[in-house]
Amino acid sequence: MVDARGTLAVWRSVRGLRDFRRLLELRVVSQFADGLFSAGLAGALLFNPERAATPWEIAGAFAVLFLPYSALGPFAGALLDRWDRRLVLVGANTGRLLLALGVGVLLATRSSEIAILCGALIVNGFTRFVASGLSAALPHVVPRDQVVSMNSVATATGALATFAGAMFMLLPRWLLGAGDTGSSAIIFMVAVPISIALALSLRFPSHVLGPDDTARAIHGSVFYAVATGWVHGARTALAVPSVTATLSGLAAHRIAFGINSLLVLVIVRHTDIPAVSVPGLGSAVIFTAAAGTGSFLATVITPALVHRWGRYATANLALGAAAVVQLAAIGIQVAVMVACGFVLGALGQVVKLCADSAMQIDVDDALRGHVFAVQDSLFWMSFIAAVAATAAVVPADGHAPLLVVAGSVVYLLGLAVHAFVGRRAT
């Protein structure tokens, strides 16, 4: 059983780590802004009575939002290992603030979806840059023996903040309407938490967040560092068995999650919930809340699981259990899929935390930003590929049991790769 007292002690120990608390506060407001912006944008494009969204349009929206950064992220990630990460956070939050206001203006003026998505794409790029910087900086503000537990604390509070931001979107949407005007007001509100995140970024002393200039640091011009960012990041990830293994498991989870996400979105677009102005929004909110709750609980218990069984066995158990739970949704019933979303959210988060810990502990700091950027790219490229493949075959009502089975097979493949490659790390 999980030691509840040990988990509580971990949370209490946060009080003794001043710089970690500051990083945690920055993560909370940053991810609240991310949740509010993402939910506001989804409401504006997917659940807007003034706009429509087919499965291919949903897949296209995800691709425009995440694919360009996923392809370019590992190049930009090199900057996290070259420049003072505190300055990177300040610059990224500044760009994020200005561009979020620009997206609000585009919505207010009823611009085309392409223009809105392109603006949101750049905002998302800055957001992912901030997230990778926060993860890469964490080992600089906590003792090495507390990296796993403090990473879980950071992930738990960040996930809760993202969920809170997404749920907060419902209040102004209810007050101001679901059209472009109400959606633009929600996006303008994002400026408040981003401004706070910018202010919090300024509190850190120079270089306290890294990077370290170790023997493995990439020297040369900025152009060289950026141009070779993908190469150094991928090569480092492949050279560390624990990282390779957990990233394969994480990719499997994201593929299955992409399949499930599009199925749910297509299904709920045909579901009319009373008191909801746009069909399916209520069901989508419930599904998101279930998955988010599962992820949050996983961040609380994962340190105890890893302490008892180790990262390798914990990730193997999570992937095996996920393959079984995925099959439970074969009936394509919304209520069952919500329950499965809760459990799969928890199991996927366990794998994600094991991957984060492997990169924070087993990778040299001079290359840690590279590898986190590669992870972020793999995270979203797997998801987008799954959404696109699902959009190509999903029926109009979303009833496709074979796609659920395909998700279970993907989990088993991820388990096989993780078990084989990860054994070398143990």
Q: From CA 221, how far away is CA 226, in angstroms rounded?
A: 9
Condensed to tens digits (0 to 9), the pLDDT of residues 53-84 reads 567 777 777 777 777 767 777 776 777 878 88
Q: From CA 154, how far away is CA 397, in angstroms rounded?
A: 39
Condensed to tens digits (0 to 9), the pLDDT of residues 307-358 reads 899 999 999 999 999 999 999 999 888 788 889 999 999 999 999 999 999 9
Condensed to tens digits (0 to 9), the pLDDT of residues 114-142 reads 888 888 888 888 888 888 888 888 888 88
Q: Which two tokens stand for residue 255?
A: 């593929």
Condensed to tens digits (0 to 9), the pLDDT of residues 77-116 reads 777 878 888 999 999 999 999 999 999 999 888 888 888 8
Residue 275 has pLDDT above 50, yes or no: no
Q: Which of 47-51, 64-68, 290-294 has the lowest average pLDDT?
A: 47-51
Q: Tell me which residue of 163, 134, 165 sits closest to 150, measured CA to CA.
A: 134
Domain boundaries, the chain: 17-204+224-425
DSSP symbols for 88-109 = HHHHHHHHHHHHHHHHHHHHHT
Q: From CA 243, how far away is CA 260, in angstroms rounded?
A: 26
Q: Which two tokens stand for residue 277?
A: 């102005």
How many of the other CB atoms lie within 10 Å of CB of 396?
A: 10
Mean pLDDT of the chain: 84
CATH number of 17-204+224-425: 1.20.1250.20
Residues in Cβ contact with 277 at an 8 Å cutoff, skipping those fewer than 6 apart:
49, 177, 178
Task: Report pTM.
Answer: 0.75
Mean pLDDT of 149-168: 86
How many of the other CB atoms lie within 10 Å of CB of 98?
A: 14
Q: From CA 401, how far away is CA 384, in angstroms rounded?
A: 20
Query: Are the C-beta atoms of residues 197 and 190 closer than 8 Å to each other?
Result: no
Give me Rg for the CA atoms of the chain.
21
**What does DSSP assign to residue 247?**
H
Going from the C-alpha of 48 to that of each of 42, 44, 112, 116, 173, the distances in angstroms are 9, 5, 14, 14, 10
